Structure 1
Amino acid sequence: MRKTKYLKILITLLIFTGIRSVKAQQYPFQDYKLPFEKRVDDLVSRLTLEEKVFQMLNSAPAIPRLKIPAYDWWNETLHGVARTPFKVTVFPQAIAMAATFDSDALFKMADYSALEGRAIYNKAVELGRTNERYLGLTYWTPNINIFRDPRWGRGQETYGEDPYLTATLGDAFVRGLQGDDPKYLKAAACAKHYAVHSGPEPLRHVFNADVSKFDLWDTYLPAFEKLVTQSKVAGVMCAYNAFQGQPCCASDLLMTDILRKQWNFTGYVTSDCWAIDDFYKNHKTHKDAAAASADAVFHGTDIDCGTEAYKALLTAVKNGIITEKDIDVSIKRLFMIRFRLGMFDPAAMVKYANTPITVLESDDHKAHSLKMARESMVLLRNEANTLPLKKGLKKIVVLGPNADNAIAVLGNYNGTPSKITTVLEGIKNKVGQNTQVVYEQAVSFTNDTLLNYLNLDQQLAIDGKPGFKAEYFKGQNLEGTPVFSQMESSLKHEWQEGQQMEGGLTANHFSARYSTNFKAAQTGNMTFELEGDDGYRLFINGKKVLDAWSRNRWGAQTYKLATVKDSTYNLVIEYWQGEGAAKIRFSGGTFMRTDFNALVKRHQDADAFVFVGGISPQLEGEEMKVDLPGFSGGDRTSIMLPQAQTALLKALKNSGKPVVFVMMTGSAIAIPWEAENIPAIVNAWYGGQSAGTAVADLLFGDYNPSGRLPVTFYKSDQDLANFNDYSMENRTYRYFKGKPLFGFGYGLSYTSFRYEGLTTPANIKSGKGTTLSVKITNTGKMQGDEVVQLYVTHSDSAIKTARKALKGFQRVNLAPGKSQLISFNLQPGDLTYIDENGQKKPLTGKISLSVGGSQPDETLKTSGNILSQTLNIN
């Protein structure tokens, strides 16, 4: 009886739910039983011209009459979900993940990132916040530009200098991010920046790249071709710069002939942000926004990011420059992506739509971040078995600008985790309380004179209360009545965009004023340091002394104030934040020059020095306002390690104690003196939230280093070609004619490996592939990973192609004394070359296949022998 009663209730509920569902489905596009194509056609047919145009902005508004929610297309997940107001897992920077040579690990990283992104988006839907940036499911990643020149500040976002490695890792990322559901995307990836784009940053809005057909198809396009034609990437971002006289987003060759016609790309294209404005403001190829926007749409650019240029499409249609049917093509592509993401279907139908917020920073995700950080680190030098260090040392001195730098390990385009482990923390955690770990910064990145920070708590007060009076305003101009005011003991804030603040204010387009009085403790000088993102200024006694109001980039400035003891100085700091993360920090102290000899003498009882230097995303990155020796506009003007760091390392070397140089960087650094004199050098990149743990694991032998360089480390600036020249002549390991300091694919281990028994056919037919196998044995005393690399070389001088080219790699883990047979399957496309007309042709004649732990002519002492075999292609 009870079962019958419950059954009747269930039937009633199902009928009622069905009636409600039918009523809700007013239009065919809302019927999830119909194919996406029919639903998209129906939806677009119901839009007005103005509604269509506004859907082509990255911040697409809601269409209430059709119950279409607002959606912002702009989101990032380069190495974990970026810029979101939620705490997330931050994996190593892209260039570091490339150093793992581990496509399976990168696939899993992308899968985990998509899960966290789904959880965030689901929460945004629940909160009605789908209109906010960095909460959507369309990620403008991966960056698969070729890192052709180490001076490019954004090279850290790429997978290195090699087209094969870039394409393979990019493919793994896209497949991991987009998922394997036959109907729905887990998230939508976007290959950028299409296609010939790699600096200089200060010129990117005006630069015109021009390369030969050979370089275009041999170097710049292979990764894009693979991701479009094989990985089925959902989106492509066209670059700022022009290509052969046309802006990339309106390039006949790139956008129409290659992307849409040859590759049959049916996904969406977004401009880089503000790139359409560049048509008429910087490239001067178009007279106004209407002409620029129409031409971009003609060439298949569906979204105008970061600006309002596409609103001029209304004028373009009115004036007959473009038709509404032309706009329909783009609109249909955009809504197709949103339908494929399940945005218009019941959550119960989309397996990703119920991903809970609890997946953020899950144990599996954090463990994988640590795994990738470990695999990414490259042991460049280890003389006299300096590493691994013994855990029983009595005193370790840790030095350098990156030793306790939580900013550096996160790279750029990053999210914010709940916990970041710096190298200093990692070492302390590793050695425990029985080892004394002493920290001194000693140098900045470029200078041996540092600000000795003082505790100003007792010297700052206002209205009889210690600290700052803080006033927060809606909007960026400090206008109107403050949304809220409060006293703050110190000024050190960081916000993610959209983070909730007091009084209902969110960290997006807000401003603040901080007021206090400083009472000088002595007569002399006090240096105030102010840093922030986006803009700030400092007033002392009503006079403006620091002004970065239009800076729009993270950075620090200092002002030296002459003080009289017991005198009071009024300080007012004004700050605004626009889009993206926000930070403002205020401190004070006195500058002091580090005496290196005194430092060494002070620590003459040290068992080892660990110097953590290199560079930082504070110096290299996207269009930055940085002007320091060796750095300009986000790029580098020199690849040499800054002289101040070399000078300190020389002093440490003279101590006679073991010296370990842990180098953080997103690009190749020239360290000729260090490579000859410092016994142990580890390249640790920007290793993500667990970077410090990973470095400590390697330094003390709990992890056997196995990373490989995805870029060439040159000896000096003299090895570099003109930065503005996009020809690949004498660039990267494939065409460089000199001898590098450390070559592409280089990386040492704590154990050793031997290769034997290379087996491959002696002859194959032209246009066919082949297989080969090799036996690898761990001949050392420690378990470890080896990255097995396969290169193809040829000796036919009549064919212009790479001197040597990576065509396969595998990561294998072996215990001491153990062996494994490794097989490679070369596809027909791996045995081709590009002719002068940009056409792919099969190789013929004799070629050489080389297998080992490095390039064929750069044998490593820990990877042993390189095996090569000649193959005849008939």
Structure 2
Amino acid sequence: MANFCVILSTVTLALFLTLNEATNSLSTSDINDTPYTLMHNYTHVCDPARFNDLGLDMTSFAYCDSSLPYDTRVKDLIDRMTLEEKAQQIGDTAYGVPRIGLPKYEWWSEALHGVSNVGQWNSIASFFDDEIPGATSFPTPISTTASFNQSMWKMIGQAVSTEARAMYNLGHAGLTFWSPNINVVRDPRWGRALETPGEDPYVVGTYASNYVRGLQDVEGTENATDLNSRPLKVAACCKHYAAYDVDAWLGLERYNFDARVTEQDMLETFLKPFEMCVKDGDVTSVMCSYNKINGIPACADPKLLKDTIRGEWDLHGYIVSDCDSIEVIINHHKWLKDLPEDAVAQGLKAGLDLDCGNYYTNYANNAVVQGKIKEGDIDIALKNLYVVLMRLGFFDGSLQFETLAKDDICSDEHIELATEAARQGIVLLKNDNNILPLSSDNIKTIAVIGPHANATSAMIGNYAGIPCKYSSPIDGFSAYGNVQYEMGCDSVACNNDSLIFPAVQAAKQADATILVMGLDLSVEAESLDRVDLLLPGYQTQLINQVASESKNPVILVVLSAGGVDISFAKNNANIKAILWAGYPGEEGGRGIADVVFGEHNPGGRLPLTWHENSYVDMLPMTSMTLRPLESLGYPGRTYRFFNGSTVYPFGYGLSYTEFSYKLSSSEKSLNIQLNKFQHCRDLDYTDGSFKPPCPAVLIDDLQCDDQNVEFEVEVHNIGEKDGREVVMLYYTPPNGIQEAPLKQLIAFEKVFLAAGESQKVQFQLNACKSLGVVSFNGNNLLPSGSGTIVIGNDLLSFPMSVNFQY
């Protein structure tokens, strides 16, 4: 999101109005001059005392009658507004209508991995000050995803929403949070990889659904039959929709980018996580992105917004633009040579309910007057918006959350959860001769070296707030021995090699050396894509010199989001172990040290492929296709389509113990009886491949609820340490189907096993969701024939066939 700055804590959030009798007659045009201040006396809009203080009779306003359905109440609210007043409510600052008791509301808050104070430039819904100095800052999503622990993803969402709701009660936050970011990382250079759950659309969608459920769900109402009135703890938003993963690369900016995408890639990769977020997570908002897709701005495309999100997926909520997207359509895309009123009309007619910006508030009224949209188009947007606020208790209150207060922010429980998330997200990449875990009985002095050795703010990445506190790597390792700290580099850029010598001297004298290296927001961030996959500056030289001179164990810890080509370290016998810690949050230092010294057995897996640096010379970031382009010599993207050598593959991760797998029971075939309305569809096969008589059937034509496959895998911890194992299931489609993925993740479960313990893990797969392919012409098909289920890194596999019968 663009054009944000840190707002001074003196800016006051106006969630509710303090209005004296003189303000009751104010018109909409006077609103910007009204001295809004925070009211602690009222927990919700429709408080009779509040209306009494405003000089209004609440009983005359049907929108405050809680006995009526939400849509009836919202219609009453909208019908009371003038056209000009309606236009003032559909920007991220909804200015309110004092004469009818409607307060101002700031729609923009962020909660990507904790409540954030990142927000808009005029005012901000979430902020910190002396009363609320900070909130728990969990690891960034790329790190949390590496745990592959679905229950933890949801628990973090629950903790974040508890703190968010407590901050709302104290006037320090809104109720609508524009998180999470669920764009698939198609290219390893993308600067925003730290904000995302990685490169696999199924993992991204699963993360999104769990995190959103954690943010939104009110206990006991998760399975409500009327989803348009289901209560919400806070409202989440899945962004940025869609095909957005280029920020600023070699002079190209996201504001000008036209993503040329096939229907096959759209359905299979770019839309899939959003579909899961809406259907499985029941998210209340989707944010459209800046870029054009095949020539049409994403925020003005009715096929993407109205037809897909609201129509096909049945969104129960609102659609919002990325900030200033309307301005981008006009001044950057110059689409249809639109004037402001034209762009506003295009957005509203496409199904865009809320403008993060001021184009809707400034020009929607004129667009109606000029006949470019109907007033009813604005009414539809307002209904979608205010029903969400009704569900949040903004109008009626939420008794179960009104007791949340300062003690619920930065609680010991939440800080411990942040620490555990940091531990579980760490990935062990190398462990020669089982050098790890280190023993504090033998290691007395520890040299902690590198630009991240004393990392604090670097650990929390972006879209972060102010953390409760920091535990740096130095802090973490100080609990296990006497730490000698040397920077080695003056910054992550490491442009000066003068600090290498003292770092080498420290390593020579220590019982063990921890090199904490990597990237930060100066290398990979929003509006900053990478140009290579290397460590910056003299970092590689520092690592190699320390490794060559030290006589005791050297451990490399990498902080980054995207992969780094550390082949030199992987192949260096003097570097005994390598850990990837991502951006591990406020308690990252404690998490790293606990893993190195064996208080926690690492069980994380890479959510991204770590490519060799030569990969970036093979294709430009602007090539959107996932599959190899033989005509241009472009390789495939992500593990699903790239078959070259890597530094470390997607899903890779070691443990301090060992696990074995055994298939204890399985169904290895699925027979589907077709009726006369279910017709065979063709698929393209490679030359010489066997083509079944009925290659495939359209998934939409099948009764998918009945097409399930069940099997059971016994996992045995055959090592000497307790540990967690991620059981990862991949599917390889039947041989010969052209452009099918090499393999695709279809399920995963994380299990804890004590040393010597075994556990049976059951999987029930829906064939339509797990065994399907998307053809080049955009058909979602279930192919016949024998594919392969692969468990783990080829530890166990068995055939799985689909047979159509007439």
SS at match of 1:169: helix
Alpha-carbon offset, residue 263 of structure 1: 2.0
Counterpart position of 2:675: none
In the alignment, the residues of structure 2 paired with residue 394 and residue 233 of structure 1 have an alpha-carbon distance, to the nearest angstrom, of 50
Contact 1:277-1:309 within 8 A present in 2 as well: no
Counterpart position of 1:668: 563
In the alignment, the residues of structure 2 paired with residue 45 and residue 138 of structure 1 have an alpha-carbon distance, to the nearest angstrom, of 24
In the alignment, the residues of structure 2 paired with residue 65 and residue 313 of structure 1 have an alpha-carbon distance, to the nearest angstrom, of 21
User: Is 1:683–2:589 an aligned residue pair?
Assistant: no
Letter in 2 for 1:665: S
Letter in 1 for 2:269: T
Q: Please give the per-residue CA displacement for 1:190-231, whole angstroms capped at 9, x wherever unaligned.
A: 110011101133511110011111111111111111112232
In the alignment, the residues of structure 2 paired with residue 739 and residue 441 of structure 1 have an alpha-carbon distance, to the nearest angstrom, of 33
Q: Please give the per-residue CA displacement for 1:657-693, whole angstroms capped at 9, x wherever unaligned.
A: 3111110011111111111112210000111111000
In the alignment, the residues of structure 2 paired with residue 839 and residue 447 of structure 1 have an alpha-carbon distance, to the nearest angstrom, of 47
Q: 686, 705, 710: which is aligned to 2:602?
A: 705
SS at match of 1:25: helix
Alpha-carbon offset, residue 94 of structure 1: 0.5
Q: 300, 309, 317: which is aligned to 2:351?
A: 300
In the alignment, the residues of structure 2 paired with residue 797 and residue 436 of structure 1 have an alpha-carbon distance, to the nearest angstrom, of 60
Alignment of 1:444-523 (within 5 A): 444-445=490-491, 447-448=493-494
SS at match of 1:306: coil
Alpha-carbon offset, residue 69 of structure 1: 1.2
Letter in 2 for 1:638: D
User: Is 1:439–2:485 an aligned residue pair?
Assistant: yes
Contact 1:791-1:808 within 8 A present in 2 as well: yes
Contact 1:167-1:226 within 8 A present in 2 as well: yes
Residues 736 and 119 of structure 1: is their aligned pair in 2 closer, same or farther, counting only changes over 3 Å?
same
Counterpart position of 1:145: 183
Alpha-carbon offset, residue 411 of structure 1: 1.1
Counterpart position of 2:214: 176
In the alignment, the residues of structure 1 paired with residue 385 and residue 267 of structure 2 have an alpha-carbon distance, to the nearest angstrom, of 28
Residues 440 and 601 of structure 1: is their aligned pair in 2 closer, same or farther, counting only changes over 3 Å?
closer
Aligned length: 682
Counterpart position of 1:815: 754
Residues 795 and 415 of structure 1: is their aligned pair in 2 closer, same or farther, counting only changes over 3 Å?
same
In the alignment, the residues of structure 2 paired with residue 57 and residue 69 of structure 1 have an alpha-carbon distance, to the nearest angstrom, of 14
Q: 129, 144, 165: which is aligned to 1:97?
A: 144
In the alignment, the residues of structure 2 paired with residue 716 and residue 603 of structure 1 have an alpha-carbon distance, to the nearest angstrom, of 29
Alignment of 1:116-195 (within 5 A): 116-124=163-171, 135-180=173-218, 181=221, 182=224, 183-195=230-242
Alignment of 1:528-677 (within 5 A): 593-594=497-498, 596-597=500-501, 599-601=503-505, 603-623=507-527, 634-655=528-549, 656-677=551-572
Instruction: Compare 44-53 and 22-31 and name the one that shifted more.
Output: 22-31
Q: Please give the per-residue CA displacement for 1:690-735, whole angstroms capped at 9, x wherever unaligned.
A: 1000000001111100000011011223365320111112000000
Alpha-carbon offset, residue 23 of structure 1: 4.6
Alignment of 1:266-415 (within 5 A): 266-285=316-335, 286-345=337-396, 347=397, 350-392=399-441, 393-415=443-465
In the alignment, the residues of structure 2 paired with residue 783 and residue 595 of structure 1 have an alpha-carbon distance, to the nearest angstrom, of 40
User: Is 1:791–2:730 an aligned residue pair?
Assistant: yes
Letter in 2 for 1:375: Q
Q: Please give the per-residue CA displacement for 1:355-398, whole angstroms capped at 9, x wherever unaligned.
A: 22320011211111111111000000011222111213232111
In the alignment, the residues of structure 2 paired with residue 666 and residue 821 of structure 1 have an alpha-carbon distance, to the nearest angstrom, of 33
More strand as a share of residues: 1
In the alignment, the residues of structure 2 paired with residue 751 and residue 358 of structure 1 have an alpha-carbon distance, to the nearest angstrom, of 39
In the alignment, the residues of structure 2 paired with residue 688 and residue 595 of structure 1 have an alpha-carbon distance, to the nearest angstrom, of 27
In the alignment, the residues of structure 2 paired with residue 144 and residue 843 of structure 1 have an alpha-carbon distance, to the nearest angstrom, of 28
Contact 2:489-2:499 within 8 A present in 1 as well: no
Counterpart position of 1:226: 276
Letter in 1 for 2:294: Q
SS at match of 1:636: coil
Q: 757, 773, 794: which is aligned to 1:833?
A: 773
Residues 30 and 761 of structure 1: is their aligned pair in 2 closer, same or farther, counting only changes over 3 Å?
same
Contact 1:721-1:731 within 8 A present in 2 as well: no
Q: Please give the per-residue CA displacement for 1:410-452, whole angstroms capped at 9, x wherever unaligned.
A: 1110121221101111101x22xxx4311110114555555xx
Contact 1:408-1:618 within 8 A present in 2 as well: no
Contact 1:755-1:867 within 8 A present in 2 as well: no
Counterpart position of 2:689: none
SS at match of 1:216: helix
Contact 1:397-1:438 within 8 A present in 2 as well: yes
Contact 1:406-1:422 within 8 A present in 2 as well: yes
In the alignment, the residues of structure 2 paired with residue 681 and residue 642 of structure 1 have an alpha-carbon distance, to the nearest angstrom, of 18
Letter in 1 for 2:183: N
**TM-score, structure 1 length as denominator?**
0.76
Residues 824 and 444 of structure 1: is their aligned pair in 2 closer, same or farther, counting only changes over 3 Å?
farther
- Structure 2 stretches lacking a partner, 5+ long: 1-47, 118-126, 225-229, 628-635, 673-701
What's the % identity of the aligned pairs? 35
In the alignment, the residues of structure 2 paired with residue 757 and residue 45 of structure 1 have an alpha-carbon distance, to the nearest angstrom, of 63
Residues 603 and 663 of structure 1: is their aligned pair in 2 closer, same or farther, counting only changes over 3 Å?
closer
SS at match of 1:314: helix
In the alignment, the residues of structure 1 paired with residue 176 and residue 331 of structure 2 have an alpha-carbon distance, to the nearest angstrom, of 28
Q: Please give the per-residue CA displacement for 1:623-643, whole angstroms capped at 9, x wherever unaligned.
A: 2xxxxxxxxxx1111111225
Q: 657, 663, 671: which is aligned to 1:757?
A: 663
SS at match of 1:604: helix
Alpha-carbon offset, residue 325 of structure 1: 1.1
Q: Please give the per-residue CA displacement for 1:480-508, whole angstroms capped at 9, x wherever unaligned.
A: xxxxxxxxxxxxxxxxxxxxxxxxxxxxx
In the alignment, the residues of structure 2 paired with residue 112 and residue 603 of structure 1 have an alpha-carbon distance, to the nearest angstrom, of 40
In the alignment, the residues of structure 1 paired with residue 200 and residue 156 of structure 2 have an alpha-carbon distance, to the nearest angstrom, of 21
SS at match of 1:273: coil
SS at match of 1:282: helix
Alignment of 1:760-779 (within 5 A): 760-766=666-672, 768-779=707-718
User: Is 1:56–2:93 an aligned residue pair?
Assistant: no
Alpha-carbon offset, residue 268 of structure 1: 0.5
Contact 1:200-1:724 within 8 A present in 2 as well: no
Contact 2:559-2:580 within 8 A present in 1 as well: yes
Alpha-carbon offset, residue 153 of structure 1: 0.8
Structure of higher CA gyration radius: 1
**TM-score, structure 2 length as denominator?**
0.82
Contact 1:848-1:869 within 8 A present in 2 as well: yes
SS at match of 1:269: strand
Residues 313 and 872 of structure 1: is their aligned pair in 2 closer, same or farther, counting only changes over 3 Å?
closer
SS at match of 1:175: helix
Counterpart position of 2:801: 871
Alpha-carbon offset, residue 19 of structure 1: 13
Alpha-carbon offset, residue 283 of structure 1: 0.1
Contact 1:445-1:615 within 8 A present in 2 as well: no
Contact 2:299-2:347 within 8 A present in 1 as well: yes
Alpha-carbon offset, residue 25 of structure 1: 2.2
